[in-house]
A and B are shown apart, each in its own frame.
Chain A
């Protein structure tokens, strides 16, 4: 598969956090990273390696110390918080290890809320996605009434419903058994293929990583890890 034009282009991305000694500890130092439109890429990394921080920077939840994050023509790093929220709301679908469904809302409402910010809540699209993930019969169920596998399927539907350009998946199978993990992963990849979304997945699970044609070590990408180990 030939890579398409760049969807995500990162240059000189650095992020540090306050350290217990009063100084600052560099967590992310990614000089260069690129993800093409529609590309599916898995990043391999151990727990605590900064993968979530990296995804939070890409999604604009965190602001970097320096560098640029070009996403679909906008520099996420240069935007103010409000515009970062808007860009995340319209262009990024986020799938979490712990699903992060809103417990007080039904499956359908969770998916609709995923579409509301940045685009508009399209009920028919939400219903179609929930049907696609096999939950047409659970529309008005609350997350606590669903199994873990079903909850992750709602999370996938929520991330994909707004037809994002980029889907970020942070250990999406970490809380699932083997069967559910395989199904959830297939679902994420298939729905991303159907919608044309690029997929950036981070995981330390070798079974998950084995299903990806394109896998990179986060340690190769993030120079801060090399500096820490040297």
Chain B
């Protein structure tokens, strides 16, 4: 009780430095937890997001590029494949469903993807979940109509009945406007998948857009594939990737995305290292704050000793004070974490359409606060040692 009173009063007496130090710990703790959770959740989400498909068939090239282009609507297409390849895989007995997509245009930076209505009617983008329309209806495959993903619709300010002109290429350039006019017939409900940031039009419309090469009017950019069994995937993998040399069969999608995270693993490590350094520096702030205030504390320490307080008691009080600053900081760090991670989630969603789960429990939420508090306690040892060695008689001046 007494030690709690002494710690509480000391925190209050040094309120400014306590507040600043606790805030720096809060930011450091929030950053540490954010880096960990964003890294963890991104990896988990991106290796799980397959929008309901097992594999992607595309032009010969990198599997990762194919997956990023066809599933995440990032990256450029590695090339086209003829309609016959789409027809072949669509009819393959090992394939349950094949959906062609064509890319190459955008609407003010948001990708326009040509596809068939079955993408919205036959595919579960996650177990038990179909794409749903928030407003309107699906496009007519033979008309110049569009269904807009929820995020893209919000950002582009599009609603049912609005019209737009597509722009050529994947990067927005206002000089590359196509002549065709498309009408929005539907807006998708949020799915928290990359589909949310896409403007969907009939595949025929994209293939035959003015200015596109008429010779490739039946080509597709990729085929999204649902398999009847996992073994079928390995069979097609051998057929396309080992025996063939014209096309690439990207399977399984999760493993390919995991490779991406392995490749950029060094970046995670750098981020984690920075977060650790920030954590250590802010914990050292506790040491500096308390150590610098030792001169003003000496008299109080001497008085308490004269009243009968032992050296160990005062040593413990200082360590406890450092621990309390750490605990206060880490309590506030959850607010910092919420702010940082929410902002990062918005950026990730804007870039990929994928919404990472920001407030799911992660072990870092336990070990980071405990670790930081322990680190602060360790940082309290030096000023505590100084308190332990305070000369009582000298600090009870004047001497008669």
List residues of A whose CB falls within 8 A of some B CB: 45, 47-49, 51-53, 56, 59, 61-62, 81-82, 85-86, 88-90, 92, 94, 96-98, 100-105, 109, 113-114, 116-118, 121, 158, 170-171, 174, 202, 204
Contact = CB atoms under 8 A, between A and B. Distances in A.
A204 B305 CA distance: 26
Contacts of B43: none
Contact of B2 (A48, A82, A97, A113): A113
B307 A117 contact: yes
Consensus secondary structure, chain B interface: helix
A52 B300 CA distance: 18
Interface string B356-400: 000000000000000000000000000000000000110011111
9 contacts: A52-B400, A85-B308, A85-B311, A97-B398, A103-B13, A103-B300, A117-B308, A117-B309, A158-B307
Nearest to A204: B400
B300 A48 contact: no
B14 to A, nearest CB: 9
B307 A81 contact: no
Nearest to A59: B306
Contact of B10 (A89, A90, A97, A104): A104
B400 A89 contact: no
A45 B400 contact: yes
A100 B400 contact: no
Interface in B307-321: 307-313
Given A82-B310, A96-B306, A116-B2, 20 more contacts: A45-B400, A61-B305, A61-B393, A62-B393, A82-B311, A85-B310, A86-B308, A88-B306, A88-B308, A89-B308, A96-B396, A98-B397, A100-B302, A102-B300, A103-B300, A113-B5, A114-B307, A117-B308, A117-B310, A202-B400
Nearest to B395: A100
Contacts of B400: 45, 47-49, 51-52, 97, 170-171, 174, 202, 204
Interface in B1-24: 1-2, 5, 9-10, 12-13
Contacts of A103: 13, 300
Interface of B: 1-2, 5, 9-10, 12-13, 299-300, 302-313, 392-393, 396-400
B313 to A, nearest CB: 8
A53 B396 CA distance: 11
Contact of B304 (A92, A97, A102): A102
B394 to A, nearest CB: 10
Contacts of A86: 308, 310
Contacts of B396: 52, 56, 61, 96, 100
Nearest to B14: A104
Q: Which among B10, B300, B306 has the highest number of chain A CB atoms within 10 Å?
A: B306
B382 to A, nearest CB: 21
Q: Which among B12, B303, B309, B312 has the highest number of chain A CB atoms within 10 Å?
A: B303
A104 B2 contact: no
Contacts of B9: 102, 104-105, 109
A85 B309 contact: yes
Q: Which among A52, A90, A101 has the highest number of chain B CB atoms within 10 Å?
A: A52
Contact of A82 (B12, B13, B312): B312
Contacts of A117: 2, 304, 307-310, 313
B303 A102 contact: yes
A102 B395 CA distance: 13
Q: Which among A81, A86, A100 has the highest number of chain B CB atoms within 10 Å?
A: A100
Nearest to A101: B303
Contact of B306 (A45, A61, A121): A61
A104 B309 contact: no
B307 A113 contact: yes
